[in-house]
Amino acid sequence: MVQHIVLLKLKPGTTDRQVTDAFLAAERLVEETPGMVEFAFGRDRSGPEHGFGLASIIQFRDEDSLRAYLDNADRKAYVEEHVAPITDERIEIDVGTEGTHRPTPNMASWYWGSARMLDDY
């Protein structure tokens, strides 16, 4: 499994209605994307100073499913039409889930790209 994590810094004056509408517009993508296992979104509850107050986390079955989603023309249009108009900045990262829920002896999941065995553990 791999998680696609998106952090959004909203433009000043963006309303709750605009945010809700943007996420509702993603419903078709969620329903029609092969390999998408779970989709969640919400506001940061800690009042972050950095301003990235909204996040979505999408779990995919595998790297191929993630890549197909990222390359999908409908997804690109969705971002351009619904996300870009309400955001000042967007950060997207993709993180594998192997070894991330609990430490796994001899494995580091924090290496770029995927987990790898540690030689010096």
Considering only CA atoms, which of 5, 4, 24 is closest in space to residue 86? 24
Higher pLDDT, 20 or 103: 20
pLDDT for residue 91: 96
With a cut of 70, say whether residue 24 has pLDDT above it: yes
Euclidean distance between CA atoms 37 and 35, whole angstroms = 6
Euclidean distance between CA atoms 33 and 13, whole angstroms = 32
Average confidence score pLDDT of the chain: 84
Answer whether CATH 3.30.70.100 is correct for domain 2-117.
yes
Euclidean distance between CA atoms 95 and 44, whole angstroms = 19
pLDDT band at 10 (very low <50, low <70, confident <90, very high): very high
- Residue tagged 């329903």 (tokens): 31
Question: What is the residue extent of each domain of the chain?
Answer: 2-117
> What tokens were used for 101?
């829920």
Distances (CA, A) of 77 to 42, 84, 91, 107: 22, 10, 17, 38
- The total number of residues shown for the chain amounts to 121
